[in-house]
Amino acid sequence: MKGDDAILVDTGIGNRLGAVERQIFDHGDGWLPDHLRALGMEPSDITAVIVSHLHFDHCGGIVRRRDSGVLEPAFPRARIFVQRGELELADNPRNERLHAAYRHTKEILTPIRASLEAVDGDTDIIPGVRAILTGGHTRDHQAAMVADNAESFVHLADIVPTRSHIRGPWNQAYDLDALRTMEQKAHYLAQASENAWWISFAHDDTIFAAKIKNDRGRFIFTETIAVSDRLFNS
Ligand SMILES: [Zn+2]
């Protein structure tokens, strides 16, 4: 939150999957609106969503499935920011691998098209909150940076998905451009280490965010914030 703005970075899978897919992806019942309410917020309080990329586990929760089966915007007041190149590729995947990666996006994006804002490269969403084009995991993957004099924070999404990925060569098998992921990771982790930024992890079940330092060529944690059991299991 910053002033009157409340900005989400990614939305998780959401509630749109059927029973079979939920089993395949081993995903629990907890979901973002419940977690927001635990913080005293409603989905309608969210003013912007920065979507790192359009894989369904990061953007599925932009919509919510009603009991009737209809999909509606999950955050009715939010402007939704996606890199233009990511949108173009999702709308028009050029080969089978990309088609598989983006097969969910039409269903997810159709209800929220009116709120969608394509951005080109690094973009200030509001003063102090910036979307940063990284590429790597997908061609137009973006990270989010909150710059503040007191304490800055970067969410690298699938560039550093878990605490294990702070090690240079640890990449995800489905990174489109593994070398670019490694370069971007090295760049932002070095900055985080030098400037004492918080970094947060999209896919870690234990550590929500951490500060790191370079200890003789490898990064170690100096401070961590645990994933809240209450939120994670609710
Ligand atoms: Zn991904």
* Distance of alpha carbon 85 from alpha carbon 93, whole angstroms: 11
Distance 137 CA to ligand 1 centre (A): 7
Q: What are phi and psi of 83, to 5 degrees?
A: -65, 140
Distance 149 CA to ligand 1 centre (A): 31
Q: What confidence score (pLDDT) does residue 163 get? A: 93
In this predicted model, what pLDDT tens digit does every residue of 177-188 receive, in sequence order? 999 999 999 999
What's the whole-number mean pLDDT along residues 130-148?
Answer: 96
Instruction: Indicate the average pLDDT of the chain.
Output: 90
Is residue 127 helix, strand or coil? coil
Distance 150 CA to ligand 1 centre (A): 31
Range in 10-24, 63-77, 88-102, 204-218 with the lowest mean pLDDT: 10-24
Distance 161 CA to ligand 1 centre (A): 9
Task: Give percent above pLDDT 70 in the chain.
Answer: 93
Distance 24 CA to ligand 1 centre (A): 16
* Distance of alpha carbon 113 from alpha carbon 117, whole angstroms: 9
What's the whole-number mean pLDDT along residues 162-167?
Answer: 91
Residue 103 makes CB contacts below 8 A (sequence gap 6+) with none
Distance 75 CA to ligand 1 centre (A): 21
Task: Give percent above pLDDT 90 in the chain.
Answer: 70
Q: What confidence score (pLDDT) does residue 150 get? A: 82
What's the whole-number mean pLDDT along residues 100-123?
Answer: 96
Q: Tokens 């990064």 sit at which residue? A: 219
What's the whole-number mean pLDDT along residues 32-44?
Answer: 89
Whether residue 110 is predicted with pLDDT greater than 60 in this model: the reply is yes
Distance 84 CA to ligand 1 centre (A): 17
Residues in the 5 Å CB sphere of ion ligand 1: 55, 158
Distance 216 CA to ligand 1 centre (A): 31
Write out the two tokens for 113: 């098209």
* Distance of alpha carbon 194 from alpha carbon 101, whole angstroms: 35
- pTM, entire model: 0.91
Write out the two tokens for 6: 């409340």
State how beta strands 129-133 and 142-146 pair: antiparallel
Element (H or E) spanning 129, and its range?
strand 129-133
